[in-house]
Amino acid sequence: MFGWGSKKDTGDAGEARALAHLQRQGLVLVERNYRVGGGPRRPAGEIDLIVRDRDGTLVVVEVRARRSSAHGGAAATVDAAKQRRLVRAAQHYLLQFSSLPACRFDVVAIDGETLHWIQGAFEAA
């Protein structure tokens, strides 16, 4: 059963459930909760999970968990602004590589007990 508590508890439980799902699919955890500081006109960004797929692709994963899909569902909350913050955080993370690995952006949306893994949910603009 998926435990619903505070918003943070819900997010932490959602991330743990998403990670377990991805690992069962053969992906390997590289980094969890990678944070980038903000600025006067730029909000801070955070990547929930960075995993490596079997083919070597680096996968930036946004996890969204909601008690139900009554208000549009978890996936609908990954709007354009959130995507921009994720792309900026990913760009910062990728600075450590001398050559850029293949990369994609996935969303794991959890609505109640239902988990949806959306591979290639959006592209870096």
pLDDT tens digit sequence for 3-56:
445 667 777 889 999 999 999 999 999 999 999 987 777 767 899 999 999 999
Q: Grade residue 1 by pLDDT with cuts at 50, 70 and 90.
A: very low
CA angle 78, 60, 124 (to 5 degrees): 65
What contacts 92, CB < 8 A, 6 or more positions away? 36, 45
pLDDT tens digit sequence for 87-120:
999 999 999 999 999 999 999 999 989 999 999 9
Taking domain 7-122, whether its CATH number is 3.40.1350.10 is answered by: yes
pTM of the model: 0.88
Cα separations in angstroms, 123 against 71, 90, 105, 120: 25, 12, 7, 7
